[in-house]
Structure 1
Amino acid sequence: MKKYLLLFLLSFSICSFGQPKESQAIDNLFSEWNKPDVPGGAIGIIKNGKLIYSNGYGIGDLEHNIEITPSSVFYIGSVSKQFVTFSILLLEEQGKLNLDDRIQKYLPDFPEYDTPLTIRHFIHHTSGVRDYFTLMYLKGKNYLDDTNVDEIYGLIKKQEELNFLSGEKHLYSNSCYFMLAMIVEKVAGQSLKIFAHENIFQPLGMKNTLFYDDNTDLIKNRVFSYNRKSNGEGFNNLIMRFDLVGSGGVYSNIEDLFLWDQNFYNNKLGKGGQEIIERMHEEGLLNNGESSGYAFALNNGIYKGLKTVSHGGALAGYQAQLIRFPKQKFSVIILANRDDANPTRKSFQITDMFLKENFINDEVENQGKKVNNKQGFVHLKTSDLEKFSGHYWNDEGSYTRKLYVKNDTLRYYRSETNESDLIPISKHEFKMINVGSDVLVKFDKNEQGNYTMFFSVNGGKSIISKEYHPKDYTNEELIDFVGTYYSKELDINYTLKIKNKLLILYINEIEISPLNSIMVNLFSNEEYGVFHFKTDGYGKVSGFRLDTGRVTNLKFQKK
C-alpha cells in the first residue's frame, strides 16, 4: 500500500512541478468561465515545441452538464481558412493549378466582370467579390439554418458588380473561400473534407479535426455554442445547422491544433520542407504594389515589438484565436463556445505573462515603420478642444464618427458602448488611449472652416474623415422617401414607412429599425448600413444604393 501511495504522490508531484509558474494567473484570467453553469472555452499554450499548459473552463453542453477539456471539439470559424490555402498550395505543388489561373477556368459558370479574377485574388481578399454572409443577412436569411451550397453559389453569381476592381483594395470576403473550396473539389476530384483529411489532418495525427460538410454527421466530444441573454442573465442555445465549408467549417481541439502549429516549424506535409510554409506567410500585393496586409489566411503582425502570425474566427457563439510568435517559438490557442469570449484580448493577456521580458517597450516596429510611444502630452483649454467637436464622415468606409468634449477631454464616439479618449500631444494632434495600439488622430482645417480628420494606427496609412453638418428632415420631407424598393441582385423588397416621425425600415414586412439622417439624401441604419438615396430629373427619390461593410453599392429601385 505504501508503495502505491508513493507512486501516486510521485506522479502527482511530477504533474504539479510540470505546470508553468503562471498557471494560477492563467486560471484567474478565466475564472469567469470556470463555473458549473456557464459556457467557457479551452486554452493551449505552446513553448519550444511543447504544449506546456492546456485546460478547459466551463461547460460544453449546458443541457447535459458536460465540462470542457483540452480534448473538447469546437467549431473554429475563419481559422479554417488556413487549411483551405494549404490545400490550394498542395495542389499547386502537385502541378494541378496555378495561383494566377482565372476563377472561370474551374468554375466556368461564374460571371465575367470588368476585371479578371484569379485564385490569388481570392486567397488575399483582393477580388472585390461581395461577402455571402452579408448578402444572406441583407436578404433576411438566417445562417443558423441549413443552407444549400447551390443556393449560396447562386446568390454570389447573381451579383452584377464587384465591390471594387480586383487588386485595387483588400476587403475580407467569405465568398472567396467558399469558392476556393469548390475549386479544391474540382481540381482534386474529391471533397475538401476528404482532401484535407488525407493530405493534412491524417498525416499530422489530427484525429479530431475535420471539415464538417454534412450537418447530419456526428462529432465526438463536440461543444455546443451559446450567446448571453439580452438581460445579461443566463445564455441562449445557438442551434447551428450551418455546414458550408471553405469560409469556415472546421471542427478541432487544442491537442490537434498544437500539431498544426508545430508543422509551421518543421513541415511534414506534401513534399516536405519549409518552402510551402514560407509561401503561407507571403502577403498578397495590390495593383499599386503595396501589400494587401493579408497572407494565405494568416495575418502577419507586431505585438509589443515581436513578430506575430495569427488568425481568428467567430460564428454562432463559437470563437477562436490562434496566435504564434515564431522567433520565440511561443503560441496561444483559445477556443470558446460563448459569444462574449474575446479570445484575442485573452491571448495577448497570456502572452504578457510569458513574453514580457522579450517586449520592445520604447518602440513598436510595424511593417518597417517605427512609432514612438513616448509622446509628450500637452494641455489644451476646453475651448480649444471644442473646435474639433462635430460629426465626421468616412466616405470609403461609409461610416460616421462623432467627436465631443466631456470632462475637459475630447471623446471619439463610435456607438453608445464604444468610445475613446483623445489626449492632445500638440494643438492639432491627439493620441487615442487604452485601445491596445498606437493610434494618432490629426486635424486639418480647410478654407470653408471645416476639419478633416486623419486617423492612423501604428504609423500606417491615414484613414480620412471629413467634418459635415447633419441634416434634420421634417415629417413632410420624409414622405418622399416612403415606398417599396426592389433589389434585383437580392430579389427582395425593402419598405420604408414613417412611424413616430422616423423613417422605419421593413424587410419581408418585418419592422427592423429607423433610418437616421446623416446629411442630404444620406441615412444610416445600425443593422443594415448606409443608404445613399438618388433622385430623378424632377427631384423625387427614385432609389438608393446600400453600403454595409463587405457589400457596397448594392442598388435598390423604387417601385
Structure 2
Amino acid sequence: MNKLLIFLVLFGLHSASSYAQKKILFVTSSQSFYGNTKISASNHFQEIVVPYDVFTKAGYTVDFVSPKGGAIPIGYINSSDSIQKKYLYDGLFMDRLKHTRKPTEIIADDYATIFYGGGGAAMFGVAENTNIQNLARQIFANNGVVAAICHGTAGLAYLRDETGKSLYGGKRITGFADKFEDKNEEYYKAFPFAIDQAITNNNGKFVHSNKLGDGFYVVDGRFVTGQDPSSASKMSIEIIKLIENKKIGVEQETVKNLDKVFAEWDNAPTKLGVAAGLIKGNQIIYQKGFGSADLTHKNLVNADTKFQIGTMSKQFTAFAILFLEEKGKLSLTDDVHQYIPQLPDFGHKITIKHLLSQSSGLHDFLALKEIAGWRDKDVFTQKDALNLIFQQKKLDYTPGTKFSQTSSGLILLAEIVKQVTGQTLAAFTQEHIFTPLGMNNTLFHDDNELIIPNVAVSYQVTNNGPKNNPINYSIVGTTNLYTSASDLNRWYLNFENPKVGSKKLIEKLTSPVTLDDGKTTFNPTAGRLLYGQQYLHAERGVPKIWTYGLEGGYASNIFIFPNQKVTSFVLGSNNRYNGGLAMNMAIEVLGDIFPEPPTIDFSKIKTFKTSAQKLDSYSGYYWDNERMTGLSMLVKNDTLRYHVLGNTYENLLVPIAENVFQVVIDGDDVMKVKFHKEGNNLKMIYTSGESDEFTYERYTPKTYSPTDLDEFVGTYYCKALNVSYILDKNEKGLFTSNKNQPNISLSPIQLDLFLSSARNLGGIHFIRDKQQKITAFQINSDKIKNLLFEKILN
C-alpha cells in the first residue's frame, strides 16, 4: 500500500467521520492568453486534479474560484495519466471548471485552505485581485493554510496582512523558479514579474530544487508550496496534516470537557442510552454514543444508532414542502383542496402556507385521537389520522387570521407530498434528501411492522426497572422519523453549505411564520414559530433555535445558536428530557457569551413597594377563555402568589412596577404578569420572555350543590368522532369517562362552564334549549374549538 493510501485510510478517513471538514478553496485563473499576446495560456490540469483527488478522498469539499468566475481555460493535459483521464471524462467535475465562482461569492470562514493552482495562466489576473487577496488574508487569519504550486505561487506575490506587512515574511516559499523559464520565448516576455523575485520583494525566502520533477515542496508554518506538478500529491497530504493537527490540538480539550457532560454513563454500559452531536461552524466537533441501545442483546449506542425523534421530525416535512416549492412543483398559496379533495369544503380557502404556519383553523388530530378514545399503544395509521381530520364539520376560525398549536397541518402536508410527487413522504425524502446527504441511517417509519436495524429500543422507566415501551403507529409528517447522531450532523451541516436545497430555502426554513397580513407572528411560550416547525427563543439573552421530541421512551433535543454557528443535540431512549445535556454541550463550546445569568437572582431585582391592600385587590380567580385555562391569585405571608387550577404548587410574584409582577422561578426565563382594569373587569396579562400576551379575566367561581349537578348527568355523543362520554357525579363533583379514558374530573368555572382535568378536553361548555334544559356540550381548548357532543340519555 503506498504512503498516500495509508495516510488516507489511517488518518483521512478518521477525520472525515469524526469532524466536519472545512472546505478547500482552489484558486484558478480566468486568463486565456499570455498578457496581451495571442499566445494561449491555461490552468495546469494535473495541478488541479491531483490535489482535488487527494482532498476529496480524505472527505473534503473543494470549491473553485477565479477572478471573473465561470469557465476557465485548462491545458497541459496528459490523457494517458489515470487520474487526469478519470477527471477529464467526469462530466460533473468538468462542469465545475466551467462554472467557477467569483471571489465576491465566497465566504472565507467556510474554508480551511486556499490553494493557488498553476499553469501559465496563473501569472495573470490573480496576484493583483484584491478580493482574492482578502480571501487569503481571512483564511490565514482563521488559522487556515495558504498553498500554491508551480506558477500558482505567483498568486502570493502581493499577499500582506491588514497592517501592510508580508503575510509570509521570513518564511520559505517555493514555486517555479525563474531559472527554469525559457527567457527567449515570447510567453516569458509577457510575464508581469519573476516569481522568485516577487516573493523576495515581499520579504519571503524563495527556495527551490535544482532539479525539476523530484517532488520538491516546502512546509513553513501554515504555508505549503510546491515547485512543479510532481509535488502535487505530497503537498496535498501535508495540507491535510496541518488542518487535522490544528483541529485535533484545538479540540482535544473541548472533547474531553464534552465527555464530562455524559459522565453519568461512565462505567455504566447498561444505563439507558443517548447519542450526542455538536457542530461549530462547518465542523463536527462531537458525535458519540453512550449506554445501552438494547438491554436484552447488550448492544451499545454508537453514532450510527437510530432513535425516533418525535416532533423534531416536522422540520423534514417542512423542508420537503419548501424543496418542492423551490422546484416549482407547488406554491404555498395553493389551495389544499387542489391536492386533497377529500378535505371538507369549509367555505374558506386553506392554503399550504396555512398548514405550515399553524393557522388553518383545523382541529388538532392528536387531541381528537385522545378524545375519541384511542390508547397510546393502539396501532394508529396515516389513514386513521386523515379520517379524524376529515370528520371536522366547521373550522375553528377563518384560515390565516389566527394561530393554534395543531399537528393536523403536517399530516396534510405529508399527503400533499404524495399527491405532487407520486411518492410517499418516506420514499420522497429518502430519494431526494437523505440519500444525497449520505444520511443512510435516517428514514420515516410509515409501517409499524417494519423491522428497523440498529435501532435503540424504546423503554419506560418504572420503579420496578425499565419496561419495553413500543410505538405502534405508522403516521408520518408530525413524527416517526428515525435518525442517528452522525446523520443529524450531516443534516445540519447542510444548513451551512447546502447540497440539498438552496441557501434561500434554508433561510425561509429558519424564518418566522406569519398570518395572511404578512406581519403577525406566532409566539407561544416556547418561542417564535419558524417555518421549520422549530422555535426562536432567547437563551440568557442570546438567540437560539430549538425544539424537542418526546415519543414513547425516546427523548430528543436540539439547540441551535445561529449567530455563533453552534448546533447541539442529544437523542435518547432513556425516557427523560435530555435538554440539560444538549444545553451543557452547547455552553461548553460557546463559552462566556451570555449577557444574562443562568438563574435570575431575585435578591438583585429592584422591587416596587406595594401595600397589603393593593395585593389583596389582585386576589381571586382568573380565566383565559381562548386557551381554556384558569388560575387563582392569593396573598400569603404578605406576598402575592398564583397557582394554576388543577395543580398544587404555588409561584411567588415579586412587584417590579405599578401593577406589574415578575414570577419567581429557578431559571433564566422572565415571566411577568400585569394587571389592568377594563370597566369593572380586572384582567391579568401573562407573558414569558418574548411570547404573545395571554389574557385572563377575573371571575367569581360558580358553585353547584350535588342536586344542581343532576341536570348535567347523562350520556353525550359526538357524531364527528362516533364516541360517547358518560357524565356522572360523586362526592367530589362531576366527572366523565368513556371506554378507554380514565375518570376525568370537571371543575365548575362559570355558569355551564367546567374545566376538565384532561388537557385535550379543555373547557366544557354546556348548551341549553329554550326551556333551559341541557341538550349538549362543546369542547374548547387551545387545539380544538366547538367540538359538539349531543345529550342522548339522561
So what's the TM-score if we normalise by structure 2?
Answer: 0.63
Shift of 1:501: 4.8
Aligned counterpart, 1:454? 685
Shift of 1:474: 0.5
Q: Is the 8 A contact 2:385 2:475 kept in 1?
A: no
Q: What is the aligned counterpart of 1:514 among 736, 745, 752?
A: 745
Shift of 1:158: 0.7
- In structure 1, give the amino acid aligned to 2:675: F
- In structure 1, give the amino acid aligned to 2:353: R
Aligned counterpart, 2:410? 177
Aligned counterpart, 2:674? 442
Q: Is the 8 A contact 1:20 1:53 kept in 2?
A: no
Q: Is the 8 A contact 2:673 2:684 kept in 1?
A: yes
Identity %: 31
Q: Is the 8 A contact 2:279 2:285 kept in 1?
A: yes
Q: Deviations over 1:25-58 (max 9, x none)?
A: 7635662898455424222122222222233333
Shift of 1:417: 5.9
Aligned counterpart, 2:562? 326
Alpha-carbon separation, structure 2, partners of 1:401 and 1:140:
28
Alignment of 1:316-355 (within 5 A): 316-339=552-575, 341-355=576-590
Shift of 1:143: 4.2
- In structure 2, give the amino acid aligned to 1:81: K
- 252-261 or 522-531: which moved more? 522-531
- In structure 2, give the amino acid aligned to 1:109: Q
Q: Is the 8 A contact 1:33 1:41 kept in 2?
A: no
Cα RMSD of the aligned pairs, angstroms, is 2.8
Aligned counterpart, 2:361? 128
Q: Is the 8 A contact 2:261 2:584 kept in 1?
A: no
Q: Deviations over 1:81-138 (max 9, x none)?
A: 1111221122222221111111111111211113210111111111111111111100
SS at match of 1:551: coil
Aligned counterpart, 1:269? 500
Aligned counterpart, 1:465? 696
Alpha-carbon separation, structure 2, partners of 1:418 and 1:314:
24
Q: What is the aligned counterpart of 2:548 among 312, 327, 330?
A: 312
Aligned counterpart, 2:482? 251
Alpha-carbon separation, structure 2, partners of 1:431 and 1:131:
32
Shift of 1:404: 2.4
SS at match of 1:413: strand
Between Structure 1 and Structure 2, whose CA radius of gyration is higher?
2
SS at match of 1:236: strand
Q: Deviations over 1:431-457 (max 9, x none)?
A: 113253222211124554x53111122
Aligned counterpart, 1:281? 510
Structure 2: any 5+ residue segments left out of the alignment? 1-9, 16-244, 523-527, 598-602
Q: Is the 8 A contact 1:545 1:553 kept in 2?
A: yes
- 276-285 or 490-499: which moved more? 276-285
Aligned counterpart, 2:442? 209
Aligned counterpart, 2:328? 95
Distance 1:223 1:543, change over 3 A: same
Q: Is the 8 A contact 1:307 1:325 kept in 2?
A: yes
Alpha-carbon separation, structure 2, partners of 1:176 and 1:506:
29
Distance 1:513 1:36, change over 3 A: farther
- 524-533 or 38-47: which moved more? 38-47
Q: Is the 8 A contact 1:471 1:519 kept in 2?
A: yes
Q: Is the 8 A contact 1:34 1:40 kept in 2?
A: no
Aligned counterpart, 1:430? 661
Q: Is the 8 A contact 2:357 2:515 kept in 1?
A: no
Distance 1:462 1:318, change over 3 A: same
Q: What is the aligned counterpart of 1:302 among 538, 547, 571?
A: 538
SS at match of 2:549: strand
Aligned counterpart, 2:461? 228
Q: Which has the higher helix share?
A: 2
Distance 1:255 1:360, change over 3 A: same
**2:297 counterpart of 1:64:** yes
Q: What is the aligned counterpart of 1:357 among 592, 599, 602?
A: 592
Alpha-carbon separation, structure 2, partners of 1:263 and 1:349:
24
Distance 1:501 1:190, change over 3 A: closer
Aligned counterpart, 1:140? 373
Aligned counterpart, 2:452? 219
Q: What is the aligned counterpart of 2:391 among 158, 168, 174?
A: 158
Alignment of 1:352-501 (within 5 A): 352-361=587-596, 376-380=606-610, 382-414=612-644, 415-416=646-647, 419-434=650-665, 435-445=667-677, 447-448=679-680, 451-501=682-732
Distance 1:345 1:234, change over 3 A: same
- 341-350 or 219-228: which moved more? 341-350
With CA pairs under 8 Å and 6+ residues apart, which has the higher RCO, 1 or 2? 1
SS at match of 2:401: coil
Alpha-carbon separation, structure 1, partners of 2:531 and 2:707:
53
**Count of matched residue pairs:** 534
Shift of 1:511: 5.0
Shift of 1:383: 5.0
Q: Is the 8 A contact 1:147 1:244 kept in 2?
A: yes
SS at match of 1:185: helix
SS at match of 2:370: helix
Alpha-carbon separation, structure 1, partners of 2:301 and 2:649:
32
Distance 1:124 1:447, change over 3 A: closer
Q: Is the 8 A contact 1:116 1:166 kept in 2?
A: yes
- In structure 2, give the amino acid aligned to 1:504: F
- 100-109 or 47-56: which moved more? 47-56
Q: Is the 8 A contact 1:43 1:254 kept in 2?
A: yes
Q: What is the aligned counterpart of 1:523 among 736, 746, 754?
A: 754
Q: What is the aligned counterpart of 1:41 among 274, 278, 288?
A: 274
Q: Which has the higher strand share?
A: 1
- In structure 2, give the amino acid aligned to 1:437: D
Structure 1: any 5+ residue segments left out of the alignment? 1-6, 363-372
SS at match of 1:552: coil
Q: Deviations over 1:218-257 (max 9, x none)?
A: 212111223333xx55333211121211111210011100
Distance 1:423 1:471, change over 3 A: same
